[in-house]
Structure 1
Amino acid sequence: MRQALLRPLLTVAAVLYFLVDALVFAALRPVAAWIGRLKIVARIAAWIGRLGPYPTLALFVVPLVVLEPLKPVGLYLMGTGHPLEGGAIIAAAEIIKITLVERLFRISRDKLLTIPAFAWCYVRVVRWLDWLNALPPWVAVKRLAARVKDAAHGMLRNLRGWALRLANRG
């Protein structure tokens, strides 16, 4: 009985959590690409490449363990009358976590997948995300987001053309 009530709530919470992560990640993709081109990142990637699977897993988990607890702290601050500070903590923790975890996963995915428990979890998460991505509401949201993105690109092109014409007249 309790499981029947909790499962939809947990599913909604998980969907919202992954949706926020996906939106933040999409916004941070250019920043992550820029960070990936830094020389120090190449050195760190080479060092991570020499680590074994389990030390790599430990390194992968550190940002999650350190930064995830900051979100409830940020919510607490927001709820106690400090919305800017709480929002800043949540935003900073999310940006740092997503950037670090994404970069670490990109560098060490194959090595991490040699760990049976990690591979098992990874397969289930990927299947679950595939299921979510196939849901009609999510498909509709992605279609709408693509239309908004195309419209924004069109407006930017028009704005650039207008600015160039204005600059050429002057």
Structure 2
Amino acid sequence: MLRRFVLRPLLTAAALVYFLIDAVALEALRPLAAWIGRQRFAERLAARIRRLGPYPTLALFLIPLVVLEPLKPVGLYLMGTGHPVQGTLLLGAVELVKVTLVERLFHIGKDKLLTIPAFAWCYVRAVRWLVWLTALPPWQAVRRAAGRVREAIRPALAAVRGWARSLRTHVRAVLKRG
């Protein structure tokens, strides 16, 4: 009775918050992950990963999760014990590495991973749950707010990109002169 009426809603709420944070981080870091995936070293690594079988691909996919996920509570602990900067930096670094690495590994090996029945079963349920979550009004409100923020900072980002381009051109010219 206690489990059904007290623990289940609490655990469900905790899981929702946890996955919401992961989903927001994924959306925010997706462009970075795509950029990393276009780099030459990443393309060579992806070619090697594609040659692996389903279970080695699964192991390669799970290792970052097993290593990085336990660091999230450590970051929360640091934040809760008077070290908010260190905790935030740890959480940010863990999310950055996890999202960019795990998402990339998943996309590279998705077809092989889905040949594993237990993985496919979990994947179908996770996708259904995410579809339900993203249809909720709070999620939609967050997406609209993020779109407004993105539109508001777009001119500043364009200016920074232009400045970086001109700086790279200048540095190359100076290096050529020698």
Normalised-by-shorter TM-score class: 0.7 to 0.9
Give deviations 1:38-94, integer Å, cap 9, x for gaps: 111111111111111001000000100001111122222223322222221111111
Name 1:118's counterpart in structure 2: 119
Change (3 A) 1:85 1:147: closer
Aligned residue type for 1:105: F
Q: Helix, strand or coil for the counterpart of 1:114?
A: coil
Equivalent residue runs for 1:8-157 within 5 Å? 8-153=9-154, 156=155
Q: Matches of 1:43 and 1:135 in 2, distance apart?
A: 40
Q: Matches of 2:78 and 2:152 in 1, distance apart?
A: 37
Aligned residue type for 2:122: C
Q: Matches of 2:78 and 2:148 in 1, distance apart?
A: 37
Q: Tell whether 2:12 aligns with 1:3.
A: no
Q: Helix, strand or coil for the counterpart of 1:105?
A: helix
Aligned residue type for 1:80: T
Q: Matches of 1:93 and 1:19 in 2, distance apart?
A: 16
Give deviations 1:98-117, integer Å, cap 9, x for gaps: 11000001101111000000
TM-score, structure 1 length as denominator? 0.82
Cα distance, 1:147 vs structure 2 = 4.1
Q: Matches of 1:93 and 1:141 in 2, distance apart?
A: 22
Q: Matches of 1:8 and 1:71 in 2, distance apart?
A: 22
Q: Matches of 1:137 and 1:83 in 2, distance apart?
A: 26
Q: Matches of 1:148 and 1:133 in 2, distance apart?
A: 19
Change (3 A) 1:129 1:38: same
TM-score, structure 2 length as denominator? 0.79
Runs of 4+ residues over 6 Å off in structure 1:
none
Change (3 A) 1:150 1:45: same
Q: Helix, strand or coil for the counterpart of 2:31?
A: helix
Q: Matches of 1:107 and 1:64 in 2, distance apart?
A: 16
Identical positions, percent: 68
